[in-house]
């Protein structure tokens, strides 16, 4: 166990019902956190995750909240604090992917990506840290596309994730006097229901010859949420099998 939560420690995962977010929820629950998580449109997936965590002896509950909606983000934080009385860790995993060349990328898609992947991340952190004391932890889930472009149709997505990495550095300075740590995880290809059809092609792009598992990212979440990372803030940790070397 990498995390070392005190009694009744609480975590909130934005975008937690599937993929990397769900793996983070399960891992934090195993580490001893009571975990709230948000979902947008799959209550069945959210309910299944709650049942899985509870069956393993953990505590979790799901909240419907669209990360494009600032008021929904703020309400999710308030509900977690009301239910558990505190908030120690926030993991901001919610994000959307839109791909396209510049001459075909619509302003509607541009606005949606910026609203969720940048504005939504900032609002989530702003709302969460209002309830955090010393030793609070903020963890964002970015992308290795922030390090360098991986495809010519991914400009806007990569731009949004580079903004998150820059945001983390600034907020780390902003929140350091309060003892709150802010760090970013930048995954490369991860096997999820969205990538499963393209796994063999993706493997050929990764020096290690394999894609990552959601649990690989959850391990980093656990580390950053725990006492072992107490001297880290403002960092972006890339986990992509060497893809951006």
Average per-residue pLDDT for the chain: 94
Mean local confidence (pLDDT), 33-61 = 96
Cβ contact 128:138 at 8 Å: yes
Three-state secondary structure call for residue 71: helix
- pLDDT tens per residue across span 125-168: 999 999 999 999 999 999 999 999 888 999 999 999 999 999 99
Strands across the sheet with 181-187, in order? 59-64, 34-39, 10-14, 89-92, 137-141, 181-187, 236-239
Which class is domain 10-239?
Answer: alpha beta
157 catalytically annotated: yes
For range 29-47, the mean pLDDT? 96
Give the C-alpha separation, 234 to 107, whole Å: 31
Kindly tell me if the per-residue pLDDT of 7 is higher than 80. Answer: no
Q: What is the pLDDT of residues 195-217, one digit of tens each?
A: 777 778 888 889 999 999 999 99
Mean per-residue pLDDT, 17-41: 97
How many percent of the chain have pLDDT more than 70?
A: 97
Q: What does the pLDDT look like over 85-128, one tens digit per residue?
A: 999 999 999 999 999 999 999 999 999 999 999 999 999 999 99
**pLDDT(29) > 90:** yes
Better-scored residue on pLDDT, 177 or 192: 177
Report how far residue 141's alpha carbon sits from residue 21's, in angstroms, rounded to the nearest whole number: 9
Q: What's the pLDDT score for residue 194?
A: 66
| Phi-psi label, residue 239: left if phi above 0, alpha if psi -120 to 50, beta otherwise | beta
Q: Which of 122, 157, 223, 231 is catalytic?
A: 157
């Amino acid at each position: 166990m990498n995390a070392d939560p005190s009694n009744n420690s609480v975590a909130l995962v934005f975008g937690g019902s599937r993929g990397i977010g769900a793996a983070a929820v399960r891992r934090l629950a195993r580490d001893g956190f009571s975990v709230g998580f948000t979902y947008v449109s799959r209550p069945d997936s959210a309910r299944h995750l709650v049942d899985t965590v509870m069956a393993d002896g953990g505590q979790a509950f799901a909240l419907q909240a669209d990360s494009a909606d600032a008021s929904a983000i703020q309400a999710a934080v308030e509900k977690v604090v009301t239910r558990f009385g505190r908030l120690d860790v926030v993991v901001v995993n919610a994000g959307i992917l839109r791909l396209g060349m510049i001459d075909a990328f619509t302003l509607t898609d541009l606005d949606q990506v910026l609203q969720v992947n940048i504005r939504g991340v900032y609002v989530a952190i702003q709302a969460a840290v209002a309830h955090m004391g010393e030793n609070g932890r903020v963890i964002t889930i970015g992308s290795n596309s922030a390090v360098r472009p991986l495809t010519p149709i991914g400009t806007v997505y990569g731009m949004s994730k580079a903004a998150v990495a820059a945001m983390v550095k600034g907020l780390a300075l902003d929140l350091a006097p309060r003892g709150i740590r802010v760090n970013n995880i930048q995954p490369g290809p991860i096997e999820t229901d969205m990538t499963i059809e393209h796994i063999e092609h993706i493997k050929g792009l990764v020096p290690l010859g394999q894609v990552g598992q959601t649990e690989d990212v959850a391990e980093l979440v656990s580390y950053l949420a725990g006492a072992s990372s107490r001297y880290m803030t403002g960092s972006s940790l890339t986990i992509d099998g060497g893809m951006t070397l």
